[in-house]
């Protein structure tokens, strides 16, 4: 995010709901890696609920992309099966 700011870009966190209101004023959506924590004893990742996209948010982002918007997304190296997020629901329609 700091690099984008140094390039003169502004950013807004997605606390504003619905996301579609922000997307109408946006050129690039940046999806950070999923948040959560690793539970060493159980050997699994515990996702934070805020890491998940709603079905409406996925739909809105896909429409945004179809209309020429851009997406920069980061994922955890072991993927959704490990982090228990739903990034695959966003990425699958993109091929």
| Mean pLDDT computed over every residue of the chain | 83
Which of 23-27, 44-48, 66-70 shows the lowest mean pLDDT across its residues? 44-48
Give a yes or no: residue 51 inside a domain: yes
Q: Which residue has the higher pLDDT, 11 or 27?
A: 27
Q: What is the mean pLDDT of residues 35-43?
A: 83
Give a yes or no: residue 26 inside a domain: yes
What do you get for the CA distance between the two ends of the chain, in Å?
26
Q: Cβ atoms within 10 A of the Cβ of 7, count? A: 7
Residues 28-59 as b/e (b if ≥16 CB within 10 A, e otherwise) read ebebeebebeeeeeeeebebeeebebeeebbb
pLDDT at residue 16 in the model: 65
Give a yes or no: residue 46 inside a domain: yes
Domain that holds residue 29: 19-94
Count of structural domains, the chain:
1
Give a yes or no: residue 61 inside a domain: yes
Give a yes or no: residue 57 inside a domain: yes
Going through the chain in order, the beta strands assigned E by DSSP cover 28-31, 36-39, 44-47, 70-73
DSSP 5-17: HHTT-----TTSS
Give a yes or no: residue 66 inside a domain: yes
Q: pLDDT tens for residues 48-88? A: 877 788 899 999 999 999 999 999 888 777 666 777 788 88
Give a yes or no: residue 7 inside a domain: no
Provide the token pair at 70: 């851009």
Q: Which pTM does this prediction carry?
A: 0.79
Give a yes or no: residue 50 inside a domain: yes
């Amino acid at each position: 995010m700091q690099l984008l700011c140094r390039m003169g870009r502004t950013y807004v966190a997605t606390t504003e709901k619905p996301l579609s209101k922000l997307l109408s004023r946006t050129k690039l959506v940046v999806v950070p890696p999923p948040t959560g924590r690793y539970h060493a004893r159980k050997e699994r990742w515990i996702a934070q609920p805020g890491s998940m996209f709603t079905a409406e948010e996925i739909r809105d982002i896909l429409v945004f992309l179809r209309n020429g918007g851009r997406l920069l997304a980061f994922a955890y190296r072991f993927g959704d099966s490990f982090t228990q997020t739903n990034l695959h629901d966003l990425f699958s329609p993109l091929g």
